[in-house]
Amino acid sequence: MLVSLDEGPGPPIKYQYAELGKLYSVVSQLIRCCNVSSRMQSSINGNPPLPNPFGDPNLSQPIMPIQQNVIDILFVRTSYVKKIIEDCSNSDETVKLLRFCCWENPQFSSTVLSELLWQVAYSYTYELRPYLDLLLQILLIEDSWQTH
């Protein structure tokens, strides 16, 4: 994740788009195998969050809790979310990752929606399709926050 932000070990290296797309896909797959329930909350006080339907479908339960450094990069800082939306918004893996992380997480959902709306506002008309498609996928998430 840090490599894609040019914050990894070693000097910054400029990667080609296709290579970063593969990196984003691997990161998406790995994160969707983790338990992110520590970042989830129900919109109804006292109720537990609804189970996340967007995890890896090949797993009956998450493999491990998400690591704190991954939480910081993905959920606390906004630079990685901005980067994947900007670079890879038309990728299925990006859609899967963002839906997984937005589930029962109003703060992350707000970050994603803000970034998508920024991209829509400042992109040329012919560049809008992937952002609008991703926006639709995020708006169709049926968690407990959907009616708020």
Q: How far is Cα of residue 55 from the mean position of the Cα atoms in its chain?
A: 12
Largest CA distance in the chain: 48
Q: How confident is the model at residue 7 (pLDDT cuts 50, 70, 90)?
A: low
A 10 A CB-CB count for 3 gives 16
Q: Tell me the whole-structure pTM to 2 decimals.
A: 0.89
Q: What is the pLDDT of residue 23?
A: 85
Cβ atoms of 144 and 44 within 8 Å: the answer is yes
Report the pLDDT value the prediction gives residue 20, as an integer from 0 to 100: 78
Helix (H) or strand (E) holding 64: strand 64-65
pLDDT tier for residue 47 given thresholds of 50, 70 and 90: very high
**65: β partners:** 35
- Asked whether residue 115 carries a pLDDT value surpassing 80, the answer given is yes
DSSP state of 34: E
Mean pLDDT within 38-49: 95
Residue 6 pLDDT exceeds 60: no
Q: Which of 55, 64, 111, 105 is nearest to 84 (CA)?
A: 111
pLDDT at position 87: 87
Cα–Cα distance, 109 to 140 (Å, whole number): 12
Q: Residue 91 pLDDT more than 80?
A: yes
Q: Check residue 51 and report its DSSP letter.
A: P
| Cα–Cα distances in angstroms (integers) from residue 136 to residues 28, 129, 148, in the given order | 19, 11, 17
| Confidence (pLDDT) at 14 | 60
Q: Is the pLDDT score of 18 beyond 90?
A: no
CB atoms within 10 A of CB 5: 14
pLDDT confidence of residue 121: 96
Mean model confidence pLDDT for the chain = 89
Q: Which of 33, 37, 24 is nearest to 62 (CA)?
A: 33
